[in-house]
Amino acid sequence: MRIGELARRSGVSERSLRYYEQQGLLRAERTPGGHREYGEWAVDRVVHVQELLAAGLNSAKIARLLPCMRDGDGGPSEIATQRLVEELVGERDRIDRMIGDLVRSRDVLDEVIDAASGPPGRGPRGGPA
């Protein structure tokens, strides 16, 4: 498939797909006319990249991680290393800390909303509701 079809099927812009290729996250074959051609596997690859970017990993870390993801048969890749596993555990711990921080921020915001709402039956600033 060409880049436009991959963009449509994955929901990612052509510009992002070119960036992924520059960063080593995606590989394209070239036609004799120089057009990019992708296999069916590319849709799943782009989805994985998007998920990992959303998790806060940078493109360099993703480039190291992608070859170590589960193979097509569901088994672990042969090139996954213990060091990479430790890095990923660290990333997961970072995300857990961020979630905890967000929950605490939401709790503080809830308290401010409650205080700003005034006593039950009263509107903000103590006036009638």
56-83 confidence digits (pLDDT tens)? 888 988 888 877 776 455 555 666 677 7
Q: Which CATH number is 8's domain given?
A: 1.10.1660.10
Claim to verify: residue 3 and residue 46 sit in the same structural domain? yes
Given a contact cutoff of 8 angstroms between Cβ atoms, the answer to whether 82 and 46 are in contact is no
Claim to verify: residue 42 and residue 61 sit in the same structural domain? yes
What total of structural domains would you count in the chain? 2
Which are the contacts of 127, defined by CB distance < 8 A and separation ≥ 6? 118
Residue 129, pLDDT > 60, answer: no
86-107 confidence digits (pLDDT tens)? 888 888 898 899 999 999 999 9
Claim to verify: residue 70 and residue 13 sit in the same structural domain? yes
Claim to verify: residue 105 and residue 61 sit in the same structural domain? no
Claim to verify: residue 70 and residue 85 sit in the same structural domain? no
Residue numbers of the domain that contains 70: 1-74
Higher confidence at residue 36 or residue 121?
A: 36
Claim to verify: residue 31 and residue 13 sit in the same structural domain? yes
Of the candidates 3, 49, 9, the one whose C-alpha atom is nearest the C-alpha of residue 25 is 49
Bridge partners (DSSP) listed for residue 36: 30
Higher confidence at residue 125 or residue 108?
A: 108
Alpha helices in the chain (DSSP H): 3-10, 14-22, 41-54, 59-65, 82-117
